Structure 1
């Protein structure tokens, strides 16, 4: 049975998510639809890129992923369908796949050209649904588009390393449900540039000198629980996606606070790691 996922910035108040699902079922009654997220910040490509990068690989190969973020069809915002790492992606060519494609090469890429057959300005509902259902029926990408060689990228999604290898200049690209601020600096890049040197991570007013592998590493379990006083304490951790995340231990934006609220670390906030000279 075909599997189609949805990642959008539609939210849940409006009828758009339901309309997209209804359109899919109208074309294919035997299909499974999975919501990855509909809470992407409106038009925020980097946030959508982070979400889809960290979700798609958990699905079986052959899954079709519709990404409805900044998807209006314009001369500068083409629609594409891509076969990448055994998965199909249908989205606008706006940089949303640049995190995945920084390490993987697409098997096939086409610019969708079926717009003249469809009259609507709700492109996720019409063009993306029609393309997804075509693929789900076993159709090929070449039938619904012309081959292309490359996709657009977006600035800010990748960190900058100084020529002297003395610092990494990154930024916050995602705020999770706990208020933790995820950066675009990977564990791999940190170790590659740092080479074991001492460092200071600076962002807004915070300066931190340690990175943990787990949230609980900040806790001294030899101290009695009522004397630990670590809830809400700022920390840096390599998260499950292998990215540096600025967090507060057992954070809760409604009680002890979170990195995003206590440190002012919203999306696009700068994060700089300075390394000591060798």
Structure 2
């Protein structure tokens, strides 16, 4: 049985997701299809990369991941199939692999060239499904295209580091269902550059001098009413290991989230500035 995941910006109102699943089942009746999400913001590559990077690792080896975001074929947006971390990815070469492959490099990358046999304005349905089915049957990637050495990289996924000024300058790459704002600054990078120094995180006009590991660390449980902490803003390293600006127990319909209450939006700048000099004894933040 083949395991295939779908990640798209199709939404669920239209026929697109159902058509793709139907095409997979027509090719592979015993396939198991898992929806990672179909609610990606339209054409949002960084959001796609963040979600997929933090989802694919939970699936077994040899899972096939079909990615349909900004997937229309063009001279500048080719289609690729690659093997990375014992998983297969079928996607447009639009830069989304940059974040997924930031620490683990692809084993093989092939540019898909079966388009001359398939006329399509819906490549996820007509092309990606064919490639996924071929891989699921044990077929070689070399059959679907020519091997290439690289993939398109987008620099906005990676934060900038100025070690002379002791600053990491990142940006908002994703806003989750709670309105929490996720940046591209990783905990690993924070520890590597910071080396235990005091710091301040700046997001618009808000400053944070502490980063939590759990949301409820902000709560003083000896207090008479713990509800007083609802709506408090905090910085946290989330479960994916990225710096997040959050509102404790946020609810977009009542309290609001960090994105709305703090006025933070996709691509907004978030910086961490470290004090000088480096402390002599350094223990990484767990």
Alpha-carbon contact 2:160-2:170 (below 8 Å) kept: yes
User: Are 1:10 and 2:10 matched, yes or no?
Assistant: yes
Cα distance per residue 1:5-59 (max 9 Å; x no partner):
0000001111101111111111111100000010001001000000100000100
- Which residue of structure 1 aligns with residue 123 of structure 2? 123
d(CA) in 2 for partners of 1:154, 1:9: 19
Q: Equivalents in 2 of 1:240, 1:227: separation in Å?
A: 24
How many residue pairs get matched?
A: 277
CA contact (8 A) 1:7 1:36 kept: yes
Tell me what 1:243 maps to.
Answer: 242
Distance (whole Å) between structure 1 residues aligned to residue 70 and residue 47 of structure 2: 12
1:163 offset after TM fit, Å? 3.7
Q: What does 1:1-278 correspond to in 2, within 5 Å?
A: 1-224=1-224, 226=225, 229-278=228-277
Unpaired runs of 5+ residues, structure 1, are none
Residue 101 of structure 1: how far off its partner (Å): 1.0
C-alpha separation in 2, matches of 1:109 and 1:270? 33
Q: Aligned partners of 2:245 and 2:39: how far apart in 1?
A: 21
Q: Give how far 1:264 is off.
A: 1.1
> Mind listing any 5+ residue stretches in structure 2 that lack a counterpart?
278-286
Q: Distance in 1 between matches of 2:11 and 2:262?
A: 27
TM-score, length basis structure 2 = 0.95
CA-CA distance at 1:204 after TM superposition:
1.2
1:165: Cα distance to partner? Answer: 4.8
State the Cα deviation string for residues 68-116 of structure 1 (Å, max 9, x = none).
Answer: 0000010111100001110000001111111121111111110001001
Distance of 1:227 and 1:45 partners within structure 2:
39
Q: Which residue of 1 aligns with 2:280?
A: none
Conservation of the 8 A alpha-carbon contact between 1:165 and 1:193: no
Partner of 2:283: none
Partner SS, residue 156 of structure 1: helix
Q: Check conservation: 1:220, 1:228, Cα contact below 8 A.
A: no
Find runs of 4+ consecutive structure 1 residues off by over 4 angstroms.
none
For the residues of structure 2 that align with 1:89 and 1:168, how far apart are their CA atoms?
31
**Normalising to structure 1: TM-score of the pair?**
0.98
